[in-house]
Structure 1
Amino acid sequence: MTTPKQGTEQGTERDTAADTKRDTDTDTTRTLHALEDSRSSVRLRAALAAGTSPQPRFVDKLIERCAIEPEFYVRETLTWALTRHASPTPVPQLMDELRSERTQARSQALHTLSKIGDRQAWPALTAALLTDTDDEVAQSAWRAAVVLVPEGEEAELARALAAQLGRGGRAVQLSLSRALIALGEVITPTLRAATTDADPRVRRHAIATERLLKNPDTGFEFAIEEAKRIMALGTTSQEG
């Protein structure tokens, strides 16, 4: 039998829980609206709030903002906020973003997946993404791939990445070299094969990457210059 006192206490607890829920709903709504504010400082604070107190209602909006957010530091905070949500909650939506026509949506989704590190996303890293015509998307795909690749598939990934050797300027080439080197010694046969490629840009990039693999303290520019010297002398990366 419930006494009047017990009934009052239970009623107070229910009222307190209801008040807490209303306050939480109000805070959530305020954060969701703030993510769309015209001021980057407000959007930044909202992203921080969404990561500090993660909840499923934030995920769709955070991913939506990643696709269109113009400020780099806000995008990075959006990604951080998504990593704070228990995987696999954000992962399926991020995988869907990889098919977006927006280059920023693809690039940021790949970046976020690499930070979350959930390998269920691996099948979504298609050859089309690894060879995307947009350099930012391709670089994000390379970085994500080396994080998410399943054990035993590193050599196949190395061959796929090596197909991009010689691509772009120094920044893009350095990004690819770092991705290849992150796979470890498994890349050695692929790099050696690339040092005999018909395209001198591919040969130079392969030799420079091999130099960096052997000596990580070597700067990329120095490795490129060393590769040029080796090619001028007519030697291979194995001989140099």
Structure 2
Amino acid sequence: MIIGDILVLRKNPGRKRAQRMLKGKIKTVCFLKQISGKKRKPEIEVLAGDGLKTIHREAGCLFELDLSKFMWSPGNRRERERMQGLVKPGETVIDMFAGIGYWSIPIAKACPECRIIAIDINPEAIRQLERNCQLNGISNISARVGDCRELAKDLQDRADRIILGWIFRPESFLDAAFRMLKPKGIIHFHYLDRFLQEEELKRAAERAGYSFRILSDVKVKQYSPRTYHRVMDLEAWK
């Protein structure tokens, strides 16, 4: 995959072959070993060229990022574009796992009349998100550092729409999502289809006093040979 002017490979071709890949706009070739931890930090090796900082263009937006610190998933592109068409003027959106602005930046760009609260536990990611807001001339995102479950306890704002974009045991964040939702709103619930615990969805809604229905269930990308990343749009009300 190409991110900005960096070619990212999932298999290591060796340094000699990687050197021959430096052509056109490609300034760096690297090998992505894995992405791990709560902050989703890449373990990456530069095979040819120099530097892992780049500016990536997607969905009409600019994303400045350092691939040694932040992940990027090209497979989410269609979902980013879908979200740009869903948010309406006047809505408040809470992005529970904002990162460098993967979802928030495209939405804010497409709908400047909405308001977005972008949360992430990683201070570096929030600083980069704020930089990306400047790059794109965006002023309708308010960024906050912290664990979304803790921030939800004291957050005064309530959202028309919540993006729960964490796919690893996302059910454990539903209590916080419902706490931040208005009496009627939508949760965009990302998950891995093989590991979905549907009963936990129902129990979390019941604990918060909500009923819900599934508006759509969209395939985002293949995560592994037998597992897909999907997003379920849940309309919830009290």
TM-score by length of 2: 0.31
Larger gyration radius, structure 1 or structure 2: 1
**Could you say which structure has the higher helix fraction?**
1
TM-score by length of 1: 0.31
Higher RCO (C-alpha under 8 Å, 6+ residues apart): 2
